[in-house]
């Protein structure tokens, strides 16, 4: 019985790891500012705009890009 829990736990862990790796790649693709604009300034402005329009999840992504 314990072996099944171990196998199930391992499968869940591996699936979460793969999802996190895919999400990290998506975040890296999203964090590219237009040419000629400092990325930190661009993403802080985008984050402010998204926060003002109540798109809080998107604002968090933008602020995270500003820190990167």
Tokens representing 49? 């705009």
CB atoms within 10 A of CB 33: 15
CA pair distance 47, 62, nearest whole angstrom: 5
Q: Could you state, in order of their start, the residue ranges of all structural domains in the chain?
A: 2-67
Contact yes or no for 46/61 (Cβ under 8 A): no
Tens of each residue's pLDDT in the chain, 68 residues: 677 778 887 878 777 666 665 555 555 567 888 889 999 999 999 999 999 999 998 999 899 999 87
Q: What is the pLDDT of residue 68?
A: 77
pTM metric for this prediction: 0.57
Q: Which residue in 49, 45, 22, 50 sits closest to 34, CA to CA?
A: 45
Cβ-based neighbours of 35, under 8 Å, separated by 6 or more: none
């Amino acid at each position: 019985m314990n072996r099944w829990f171990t196998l199930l736990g391992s499968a869940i862990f591996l699936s979460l790891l793969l999802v996190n790796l895919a999400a990290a790649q998506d975040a890296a693709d999203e964090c590219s500012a237009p040419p000629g604009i400092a990325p930190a300034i661009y993403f802080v402005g985008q984050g402010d705009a998204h926060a003002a329009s109540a798109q809080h999840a998107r604002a968090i992504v933008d602020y995270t890009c500003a820190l990167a």
